[in-house]
């Protein structure tokens, strides 16, 4: 455990305050683990969590995921574990993962990391995992979602509290209101040895190009405050989407008829709703019934069976078939074709 308590600088105060607010609102937590890479964001988070956990009477630990992507990844993970122990975090867990190929390197690494975090938290009996995503990360996520062009859902950014089904582990992001520069300054002020991941400056990664090129240009051309504005946009879109989802779920109860063969939705009822709500009803109903996520292109195709009906045949969409029969839109699981 650290013997020299760092002086309370503005950076340390800001990060501690953010962590204290999230931990205090998280409810009873037998154990909260910090996902620690050794970088400045997660290291500042780990130090603040150790400090605030002791004050709040919450047991706090750390989990280090070694992705095996660096030549010295084992040493880096071991150093992060040593720092976690010095901060007084207990337990300190280190797990190595194998990165798959699905979805590209960034997506594959993220999937492997969350799977490892879920597994380690479950084994340790933790109820919460704290992640070091900052305000800058949020702005980058919103810009990437905007570039994908897949609607408001892609620009929601990251929620301060979330879960990844079917896991029951709560993921907390206390630093979404904190700039990356503040976490770097925290480590300097606290005398912490933060690791700089070379992947964070590798322009072959899309997120790095957004971080090092796109956002600086926007700040230079539009003035300061772009990062904060993007984060506010994510908050507003998430609130709007949550309200619309709740409204759509209530309407589904009135419009849907469940049968052994699948699901049907009432055409006049769908037609009476605005397009945005109609498509949300279709998407949520199919997701709940079949576990299939329809894209906007697919929901628009289904919507044309309602608003532009001229005797179209069956729609064969990924995982689901859709027909219009006697005033109903009927969804059924797509047949599996065997070779």
- Using CB atoms within 10 A of its CB, is residue 21 exposed (0-12), middle (13-18) or buried (19+)? middle
Q: What is the pLDDT along the chain (339 residues), one digit of tens a residue?
A: 444 567 899 999 999 999 999 998 887 778 999 999 999 999 999 999 999 999 999 999 999 998 766 678 889 999 999 999 999 999 999 998 777 666 666 777 788 888 899 999 999 999 999 999 999 999 999 999 888 876 677 788 899 999 877 778 899 999 999 999 999 999 999 999 999 888 788 888 888 999 999 999 999 999 999 999 999 999 999 999 889 999 999 999 999 998 777 899 999 999 999 999 999 999 999 999 998 889 889 999 999 999 999 999 999 999 999 999 999 999 999 865 444
User: How many Å apart are CA 235 and CA 155, to the nearest integer?
Assistant: 9
Q: Count CA atoms within 13 Å of residue 161 on its CB side.
A: 13
User: How many Å apart are CA 126 and CA 167, to the nearest integer?
Assistant: 12
User: In this structure, what are the phi and psi dihedrals at residue 259, rounded to the nearest 5 degrees?
Assistant: -140, 165
**Amino acid 339: pLDDT:** 40
For strands 315-317 and 262-266, give the pairing: unpaired
User: What tokens appear for 318 in the block?
Assistant: 């990924």
**Amino acid 67: pLDDT:** 75
Q: Is residue 136 within 8 Å of 180, Cβ to Cβ?
A: yes
Q: Count CA atoms within 13 Å of residue 97 on its CB side.
A: 20
User: What tokens appear for 326 in the block?
Assistant: 């006697």
Distances in Å between the alpha carbon of 135 and those of 173, 193, 317?
Answer: 10, 22, 37
What are the structural domains, with CATH classification, of the chain? 10-230 (3.40.50.620), 260-333 (3.30.465.60)
Q: Is residue 48 within 8 Å of 211, Cβ to Cβ?
A: no
**Amino acid 101: pLDDT:** 65
Q: Is residue 240 within 8 Å of 276, Cβ to Cβ?
A: no
**Amino acid 176: pLDDT:** 96
pTM of the predicted protein model: 0.84
């Amino acid at each position: 455990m650290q013997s020299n308590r760092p002086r309370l600088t503005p950076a340390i105060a800001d990060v501690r305050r953010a962590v204290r607010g999230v931990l205090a609102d998280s409810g009873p937590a037998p154990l909260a683990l910090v996902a620690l890479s050794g970088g400045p964001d997660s290291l500042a988070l780990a130090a603040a969590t150790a400090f605030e956990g002791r004050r709040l009477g919450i047991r706090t630990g750390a989990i280090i995921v070694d992705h095996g992507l660096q030549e010295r990844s084992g040493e880096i993970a071991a150093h992060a574990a040593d720092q976690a122990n010095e901060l007084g975090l207990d337990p300190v867990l280190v797990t190595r993962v194998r990165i798959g190929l699905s979805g590209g390197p960034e997506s594959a690494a993220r999937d492997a990391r969350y799977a490892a975090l879920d597994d380690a938290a479950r084994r340790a009996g933790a109820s919460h995992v704290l992640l070091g995503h900052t305000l800058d990360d949020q702005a980058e996520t919103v810009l990437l979602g905007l570039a994908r062009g897949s609607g408001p859902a892609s620009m929601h950014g990251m929620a301060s509290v979330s879960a990844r089904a079917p896991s029951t582990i709560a993921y907390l992001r206390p630093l979404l209101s904190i700039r990356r520069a503040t976490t770097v300054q925290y480590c300097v002020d606290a005398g912490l040895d933060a690791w700089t991941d070379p992947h964070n400056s590798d322009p072959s990664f899309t997120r790095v190009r957004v971080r090092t090129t796109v956002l600086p240009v926007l700040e230079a051309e539009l003035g300061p405050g772009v990062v904060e504005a993007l984060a506010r946009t994510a908050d507003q879109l998430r609130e709007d989407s949550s309200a619309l989802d709740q409204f759509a779920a209530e309407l589904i109860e009135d419009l849907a008829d469940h049968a052994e063969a699948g699901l049907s939705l009432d055409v006049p009822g769908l037609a009476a709703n605005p397009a945005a709500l109609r498509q949300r009803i279709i998407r949520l109903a199919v997701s709940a019934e079949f576990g299939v996520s329809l894209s906007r292109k697919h929901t628009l195709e289904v919507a044309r069976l309602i608003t532009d009906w001229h005797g179209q045949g069956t729609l064969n969409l990924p995982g689901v078939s859709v027909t219009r029969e006697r005033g109903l839109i009927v969804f059924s699981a797509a047949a599996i074709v065997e070779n």
